[in-house]
Amino acid sequence: MNKNLNKTEGKGIVVESLSWHPPKNEKPVLNNLNCLIEKGNIYGIIGPNGSGKTSLVKNILRFIEPEDGNITLDEINLKHYKRRDLAKKIALVPQNTVLDSSFRTYDIVMMGRIPHQKRFANASETDSDMVQKAMLLTDCYQLQDKSVATLSGGESQRVVTARAIAQDTQWLILDEPTSSLDIKHQLELMDSLKKLNEKKGKTIIAVLHDINIAAAYCNRIIMMKNGQIHSNGKTEEVLTKENLNNVYEVDFEILENTRTGKKYYVPYANDR
Ligand SMILES: Nc1ncnc2c1ncn2[C@@H]1O[C@H](COP(=O)(O)OP(=O)(O)OP(=O)(O)O)[C@@H](O)[C@H]1O
């Protein structure tokens, strides 16, 4: 491990003047974007299709290199992290993962432990324990001996989430983690993430399309529009009628859920 990586425990992820312009695109996808993602919270990243949510996440994980700007984690520039060291800090649940069909579900989840293992070493007791816990938390323990080729879309999504949880990082980034899940599994997954945040202090960043899931589970919202941050702050302060209308270009009614006391959001097409 690079010694400098232990030097400081900063505030979290700081994105400064980030621009990303894919070569064949007319316009930049991310455009001079600034954003602070503070440790210890559950963030929802929301915004319309194409607003740059996945591109932001990919830049944070260094899957793509920014054209301009800096991203630091705990006050250290991400480009100074070795891949393996970054994988001990941040785990990702990508959008629409295609799993290698020759593997068993258990083996896929065990892959989350690779950053913690010595090369060619067998799985330790801690590795097996973390994998078991992650599979129980995501309700896929009973799938452990199945070939991933036979899994449904939602089951695969839960397995990929288990792999990221088994990675046991301070930061967990999930790109549309509930998109293939039925309602019960959506709620169970979000409850599990909340538990990881509350009991283990993990910072969760989830790209979400469902405003009501974001409102119910996230205490911070990053709202994106046209490759920039439109708003970033406490959930109720960001999820206002005005912001929602401005970003999504539809009307919203904000009501109160009498059972949970939380706000919920009903969108209306503009001509209704
Ligand atoms: N590798 C690439 N090359 C060219 N254009 C890209 C590339 N990746 C993304 N884009 C473009 O960048 C824009 C933002 O894409 P991105 O996937 O970040 O949006 P998003 O907010 O996550 O969208 P969605 O809600 O649809 O998943 C889109 O217009 C997309 O076509």
**How far is C-alpha 230 from the chain's CA centre?**
19
Question: Do residues 232 and 222 lie in contact, with contact meaning Cβ atoms separated by under 8 Å?
Answer: yes
CA of 56 to the centre of ligand 1 (A): 10
Other CB atoms within 10 A of residue 247 CB:
19
Beta bridge partners of 68: 19
Beta bridge partners of 92: 173
Check if 54 has its Cβ closer than 6 Å to any atom of ligand 1. Answer: yes
CA of 269 to the centre of ligand 1 (A): 24
Question: Do residues 74 and 133 lie in contact, with contact meaning Cβ atoms separated by under 8 Å?
Answer: no
pLDDT at residue 4 in the model: 39
CATH fold of 12-240 reads Rossmann fold (3.40.50)
Which of 29, 49, 208, 223 should be mutated for ligand 1, with most atoms under 8 A from CB?
29
Identity at 83, one-letter amino acid code? R
Three-state DSSP at 30 gives strand
What does the alpha-carbon distance between residue 198 and residue 40 come to, in Å, rounded to a whole number? 8
Closest residue CA from atom 13 of ligand 1 = 50
What does the alpha-carbon distance between residue 72 and residue 67 come to, in Å, rounded to a whole number? 15
Which of 54, 92, 178, 229 should be mutated for ligand 1, with most atoms under 8 A from CB?
54
pLDDT at residue 7 in the model: 39
Residues 6 or more apart whose Cβ sits within 8 Å of residue 196: 137, 165, 172, 202, 204
Three-state DSSP at 2 gives coil
CA of 267 to the centre of ligand 1 (A): 24
Mean pLDDT per block of 10 residues along the chain (272 residues) reads: 42 92 88 94 97 95 85 91 91 83 92 88 90 93 92 89 95 92 90 92 96 96 96 96 95 92 89 60
Closest residue CA from atom 30 of ligand 1 = 50
- Identify the residue whose tokens are 């080729």: 149
Other CB atoms within 10 A of residue 114 CB:
14
**Model confidence, pTM:** 0.91
Q: Where are the domains of the chain?
A: 12-240
Residues 6 or more apart whose Cβ sits within 8 Å of residue 143: 105, 135, 151, 155, 159
